[in-house]
Structure 1
Amino acid sequence: MAARPYATLVPRQTHRILAGHCWVFRSEFQTIVGEAVDGEPLEIRDQRGTVVGSGLYSAQSQIAVRLLSRRSVEFDAAFFRDRLRQARALRDQRLGGRPARRLVSSEGDLLPGLIVDQYGDRLVVQTTTVGMDRRLPMWLDLLKAEFSPAQIVERNDLTVRRHEGLPERTGVLHGPADTRLVVRVGRCDVEVDLLDPHKTGSYLDQQLNHEAVARWVVPGARVLDCFCHLAGFGVHALLAGAKEAVAVDSAEASIAGARRSAELAQVGDRLVTHCANAFDWLRAADDARETFDLVVLDPPSFTRNKDSVAGAMRGYKEIHVRGLRRLGVGGRLATFTCSHHVSAAMFLETVLEAAVDARRILRLEETLSASPDHPVLPTIPESQYLKGFVFSVMEAF
């Protein structure tokens, strides 16, 4: 058997890997021994020749290897089947019989480059690295064997694939051509299209947060759900006893989906929708002095890299100033950021700065994160991308 190719790290570059991160950057390579083949296994060794990990090599990405193991192992179908079963066991334990859930969450399940979402008897697959993409036929076989899905949809339209030299692709890989279905997400039945450009059909990372925020709703409350997508927060608030929910999103398809979600939950008469830019809508609401009992801010990521963080924080501050001004004493703010470049401390500081400008005194009531089917590895900060807070307004002056 031919010797396995390996890369030796430059001196003093092993600590981050030994500490638990699974990304090895090309700049950390000192030498490569043997032929490193795009998408195929490559061992990582320290200066003494000790194996510190093994993963799949990416010839084009600056992240040259994403480690799958800290040992020298064979990446065969049995290896990946075991990882898949471990991932499934976690979901069964933490989410029970929920029909909508993320089955595989890339680095969070030690399967970097693979995402699998489940919607009832249908699966959605994304492969974001060349190594996982080349193994897509194997993954299809494993998913069919383990889950017997009625349909498997490919959603490889992520721009991150460009860093790997991969084309964008979408389509049905197994089962019927129709990708629309109604599935329960949280307490609501929602109509999703698995080829919807918003994520893989629904924001599963917020599934438990929809329920958590709804627990802060008082009967008769008026709720604002900004950047609403399918109005998961707004509809759950209505089910919890809110009198009215106002849902704002700039995408017409999202607004249509929000209305459909409310209809399925039999609260359609209490959901008011606006297809508008949330910043513009909040400015208009500021001028009109509209008031709410609960404001939810769940914007898309304002930053894709470190260079744009400063601009993102200005955007976060503006929406929080305007959102907080819509709340009186006793009102509540539920707010989220989904950028791993923005730490929880940075986000909290920005909200508090906005509170000063809005002349509101806040009490932190609850800290939220992604639902447990999006597991976090503390040694991989990128896996802890979603941060959320619930505040109460103690005083307005």
Structure 2
Amino acid sequence: MFLLAVGHACVDVYQGAVAALVPFFVAERGYSYAAASGIVLAASLLSSVVQPLFGALADRWAMPWLLPVSTAVAGIGVALSASGGTYAMTLAMVAVSGAGVAAYHPESARVARVASAGSHTAMGWFSLGGNLGFAAAPLLVAAVVGAGGLRAAPLLVVPAALGSVLCVLALRATRMPGRAGARVVSGAVRDDGASFLKLSLVVVCRSLVFVGLSAFIALYARERVGGGEVAGSAALFVLYAGGAAGTVVGGGLAARWGRVRVVGWSYAAAVPAVAGVVFVPGPAFYLFVALTSAALYVPFSLQVTLGQDYLPTRIGTASGVTLGLTVSVGGLAGPLIGAAADATSLQAALAPLISLPALAWLLARALPEPTGPEVAGPEPAAAEAAPPGPDATEASPEGAEGVGPDAAPWEARGG
């Protein structure tokens, strides 16, 4: 799980890197707000379209090889996007990176769920890895592109190379089941499509707020506090880094109060936090950015496990929506925000985002707290000698020792 979490960080660097590159595109190439938002859209559009497809494929076939391959594609796309001279080339390469990200998340979430034996805590650490990758993105871009300009962007491929190696090592350390579906240990399972649809709308609301802010907050910080590109990179780092704390806190709160209740509280708290980002000037701007980040990230990993419990027979699809579309679909609103900013002001364009956490809170109130089925971990070593039969995805309650929702990853591997 540690290798999977660090690999997750390496691939999510490239989701954060696209937004971190926007101020440099504006400064070096003179892009307008609308043109800059088109770059974020390019990364999000293809990802949004193909993410459910990869989720469905992950439900049907085990494709662990996608983890290292998609990580490499994500890094190469971002590295080439900044080095390409034309706007069309930049959009194309960013779209390629988005496709790599889309391919990674459903399969990685399936692998992580099996490796962790369905532990909510372990999935929280897996999500934390992605959040840390987001947080590292503006620092990496500022260090590489800030020092050498866009011509130094090919160096951004280094995390992808590292992540690909870590994914291979993680897969070797994890004995995956012979078929794509996680093995149900006990209890009849049935999908709750209505609840999953409501949860998906909650995810969309969160994504619109988070991606909308991440696309423009670096530029907005320069207006609110001054300081040029340094102030913008600092604001983006705070937005991403606050998520690390939010993800860790979210798991502890959910253990005490329940996932659905914590998700609702988080979005209620996000309403005044986002309002502070939009309207409060001066250094306090960074405080509200941190509060917004924490409020939006507390429900992050909780939404992933909720989605998997609402669709226990389609883990890949659930993961593709709750883990992947959480980021990608918000980019679809980027051009609208950019066009509104060009026509009015960036503050006026960002103000409507305040209403979205309130809508997410209302939707979350209608969600039930599921009781997810227990999921078996990786195949025991003794089973390697025999190929999986037609019932390889099922196991009896006997032999399910140490695979409950709170089981530790090493216990799931028989350690």
> Per the shorter chain, which TM-score range?
under 0.3
Of structures 1 and 2, the one scoring higher in RCO (CA 8 A, sep 6+) is: 2
TM-score by length of 1: 0.26
Task: Pick the structure with more strand per residue.
Answer: 1
TM-score, length-scaled by structure 2: 0.26
Larger Rg: 1
